[in-house]
Structure formats: structure tokens, C-alpha cells
Structure 1
Amino acid sequence: MQRPQNLFKLLAFLIITCLAGAANAQNVDDIIAKHIKAMGGEKLGKLQSMKISAEMDIMNMKVPITTTIVQNKGFRSETTVQGSTIVQAVSGTTGWAINPMTGNSKATALPADAVKSLTNETDLTGLYNYKEKGYKVTLDGEEDLAGAKVYKVTMTLPDGVRRINYISKDTFYILKIVAQTSVNGQEIMSENVQSDFRAVDGIYYPFTSEVTTSAMPGTKMGLKILAIEMNPKVDPKIFEMPQ
């Protein structure tokens, strides 16, 4: 059972994973404004919910993942591994999971660090209106990313979580995100390289991602988006912990 349990921990992290001073303030705001325009502009402000169907290539397996998010309210993922469906969800300040691969088919409460990480994923709009959200951003220079010139913009969330966004100087899409999160009390670094941006209802989204993590050094995991539904009607009960 060791391999399935390790796989579950990694999947939990990956699901969580798939978002300097006054002198830089004007420059970073200009960059973010261009990024927001490239992603869909004010249409981002109308984004209230999303359902994502995807497939992850991990450990030589094709793993289907369905994720449903309601802006700032709820997150639920369903991952099918070896015929078992793993569920993770948060609503407000509470979270829970069902993991049949551990031999327990009942819902159990998620630890506080996992709840915090998944709660951060309920923000569907990233840098859009970042000041109103209480996010802090800094421009930390420019780099070359696989031949693409990028701005390095660090976003710090109110709970202290930091994400480094590598924003293309050409398209103003985010080409890579470097983040640090806590899984089961262990600090894990991740890199998510994003590509194949496509418009869905006027909002651009990366349909291909390649993820590496310190939890599995030397291993690359691919994620392909199969379909995205913008603003679907979502029953809030799906985020509630089953009795």
C-alpha cells in the first residue's frame, strides 16, 4: 500500500499546486495590467465558477481529474486512480477527503495546511484586482526562460504564501509558476510550466502544464486540460463533508 499512499500525497499536492519597493510599484502595475488584458480583461471579473476536466500523466499512468471551483467559496477535485475515486474538497475554513486507496471509504477532515492550500485555489482570477484581495506584489527583475524573455513577479497572499510568476514580455501570459506549499507538514517546492493558451468564453487558459516537485526529484508530470466550463451552475452541497 505504500505506493498508492505516496501517490495520493503527490496528487493532493499537485491539485493544490496546478497560482520590491515603491520604486517598482508603477512598473509592476503596468506589467500586471497588460497581463490581465491578455488573459481576458474585465471578463475575469465575471468569472464566478469553473469546472475543469483534465488528464495527468504520472507514474506511467493516465489519471483523470475533475475540478469544480466556486470563486472564493468552494473547491472540489475528483481523481480516479486504479479504479478508485479520490475526493478532496474545501468550503470556507473546513476541508475533507475521501481516499479509498487507504482502505477507508468515509470522509475524513483534512489537516489545516491542506485546507489553507486548497482555499487559496478558490481564487480563479489570480492577479486580477490583486490590491482589493490584499495580495502584495513585487517586480524582482527579468529573466530568460527557455528562450522567452519574462518578468519575474512575486505575489504574496494574505496568509504568507508566495508564488513567483514568470510573465512573458511578448504575450504577457504566465509561462511558469514557482510555489512553496506545505503537505502533511512537509515544505515542498513546485514548478509549473504552462503553455498552449486557448480562449474559453474570452478568457485565456493554459491547456498544457508540466510540473516538477521536490517531492519527486527528477520526475516530470504532464497535465492536459480536456475541457473547461466557465460559470457553470454549482450545487454548494458538493463542497460539504458527507456525514
Structure 2
Amino acid sequence: MMKTTFFSILTMVCILFTNVTGSTQTADEIINKYLQALGGQEKLKTIQTVVMEGSLSVQGFELPIKLSSVHNKGVRQDFSLNGMNGYSIITPTAGWNFNPFQGQTKPEPVTADDINEGINQLDIQSPFIDYAAKGHAIELLEKEDIEGTECHKIRFTYKNGKEEFCFFDPSTFYLVRQKSKSKANGQEIELVSDLSGYSPNEQGYVFPMTIGSAMGTITMKSVKVNTAIAESLFTVDK
């Protein structure tokens, strides 16, 4: 469960689109408005590290979590329960899980599928910035009702073929829902994440502070950008 939760959390954190429906706005216009709502492309391009701290409410438990990310180099999630500490790590070439709650006594390498699932989230500036140059593709689909609001719907296809469907509020242009498919224990599952509580941190970078899914709700208490993170955080003792 924790492994699936980790990749759903990673999946909760990015996405966007192309093409035109019957609306007067193009996909690129919607992208630009979304990025502007987060602080603007130039500001987002200055992000090199992000440290997010909060809690995950899941199956009656409240787990403190910490997400540490270095742009295009690594993402690590640390979590605690009943005095035990676990973590998951993804880098461009490797990854590990350590989940003592399920009896693990040492970190275990993740599969190639796991790396393929998580690697897209290493672009913490936003995969929507210069998406075509990065090899991604976008498609604007028909609007869809999300909690009573007709939202812009975008299909975002990563360079590695993974697809995500993103839904944007027409007034704020924030990303409010994200759908994708993931593999867990050899089976394909659909992940649906609802993002809300967008708020600027002290440096003016805007992040969703609440992310809900069928597996639980993440509530972020703090988000720090461009603080020092040692790259050794993304390695494990052999």
C-alpha cells in the first residue's frame, strides 16, 4: 500500500496539454495561464529544489511525510508510523523502497516499471514548460464537469508514452484534478487526484496544499524552494 501511495503522491505533484475544442482558447493559451497562475515560467525555471512537509491521512492513520526533490536528479519521500521510519527514492536510473511497516529490514530496489512510473516527476519546474522540446505531446479535449464546474480537459503524453489527463478550472486555471494509470503488484490501476488549497509560499511560488485520492489525503504544512539538499539523500547503504 505504501509503495502505491508513494507513486500516487509523485503522480499528484505535475502535468498539462494541446489542440482546440469548441472553445476560443487554444491549449497553449491554457498552459500559459496555468503556468502564470503558479508564478510564471521564468520564476518556475528558477526552481532547483523543493522540500514539502505535511501529513498523509490514510486508513485511519496520520503519517508525517516529507518530500525532498532535486530538479531532474531525484525525489525522496520519507514517512513515519508508530515510531518506524520508511522512505522511497526515485532517480533517473534507479530507485529504492524501505517499508518497515511491511516487514522490510533493508531497502529494496524498485522495478524498471516503477522507475518508468516515477521518472516523469523529476521535472519539478513543470513538464509543461517547453513541453514540445522535451519530447512530450499535448491534446485539448472536450470540457468535463468536475464538482459542478466545466473544466478544461487536457491529455498530456510524456516522452516515454505515459498518459495523464488534467483538468483545469476555467476561472483560476489551477489544475484541480488529475487522472492516470499506474501499475501496482502487477496490475494496472487508475489514479485520480484532486488538488486544492493553492497558496503561495514565502518566496511567491504557488503550490496545491491539499491533494486527495481514494487512498487518502495529503495536507502540506510547509513548502520550501531552493534550500540545500545533499545528493547523498538519493542513495542507500549497500
* TM-score for both structures, normalised by structure 2: 0.89
Match runs of 1:57-72 below 5 Å: 57-72=57-72
Instruction: Tell me the TM-score normalised to structure 1 length.
Output: 0.88
Gaps of 5+ in 1: 1-6, 213-219
Choose which of 204, 207, 210 in structure 1 pairs with 2:209: 207
Alignment deviations for residues 99-145 of structure 1 (CA, whole Å, 9 cap, x no partner): 22233322221111112222222111132221222111000011221
SS in 1 for 2:63: strand
CA distance in 2, matches of 1:33, 1:230: 22
- State percent identity of aligned pairs: 26
Question: Would the aligned equivalents of 2:181 and 2:191 in 1 still touch at CA under 8 Å?
Answer: yes
Look up the match of 2:166: 165
Is the 1:151–1:166 Cα contact (8 Å) retained in structure 2? yes
1:235 is aligned to 2:234? no
Report which of the two has the higher share of strand: 1
Letter of the 1:224 partner, please give it: T
8 Å CA contact retained: 2:50, 2:224: yes
Find the residue that maps to 1:34 and give its secondary structure.
helix
Work out the CA distance in 1 between the residues paired with 2:222 and 2:237: 27
Q: SS of 1:121's equivalent?
A: helix
**1:8-23 alignment, distance < 5 Å:** 8-18=2-12, 19=14
Q: Is the 8 A contact 1:51 1:228 kept in 2?
A: yes
Deviation at 1:15, TM superposition (A): 2.8
User: Is contact 1:208–1:225 with CA below 8 Å preserved after alignment?
Assistant: yes
C-alpha displacement of 1:80: 1.0
How many residues are paired up?
229
2:170 is the alignment partner of 1:148: no
CA RMSD of aligned residues (A): 1.9
Deviation at 1:84, TM superposition (A): 1.7
CA distance 1:9–1:23, shift in 2 (3 Å): closer
Counterparts of 2:226 and 2:62, CA distance in 1: 27
Displacement of 1:90: 2.0
Residue 132 of structure 2: SS of its match in structure 1?
helix
- Contact 1:113-1:183 within 8 A present in 2 as well: no
Using the TM superposition, give the Cα deviation of residue 21 of structure 1 relative to its aligned residue in structure 2, in angstroms.
Answer: 7.7
- The 3-state SS of whatever aligns with 2:26 is helix
Task: Tell me the residue number matched to 2:26.
Answer: 27
Hey, which of these two has a bigger chunk of helix by percent?
1
Q: Return closer, same or farther for 1:23/1:8 CA change in 2, 3 Å cut-off.
A: closer
76-85 or 28-37: bigger deviation: 76-85
**Is the partner of 1:67 in helix, strand or coil?**
strand
Q: Which runs of 4+ in 1 moved over 6 A?
A: none
Q: Kindly tell me: are residues 186 and 161 of structure 1, through their superposed partners in 2, closer, same or farther at Cα, counting changes over 3 Å?
A: same
Q: Distance in 2 between matches of 1:21 and 1:137?
A: 4
The 5 Å alignment of 1:66-105 reads 66-105=66-105
How far did 1:45 drift?
0.7
**Letter of the structure 2 residue corresponding to residue 240 of structure 1:** T
Indicate how the Cα distance of structure 1 residues 61 and 167 shifts in structure 2: closer, same or farther if over 3 A, else same.
same
CA contact (8 A) 1:163 1:178 kept: yes
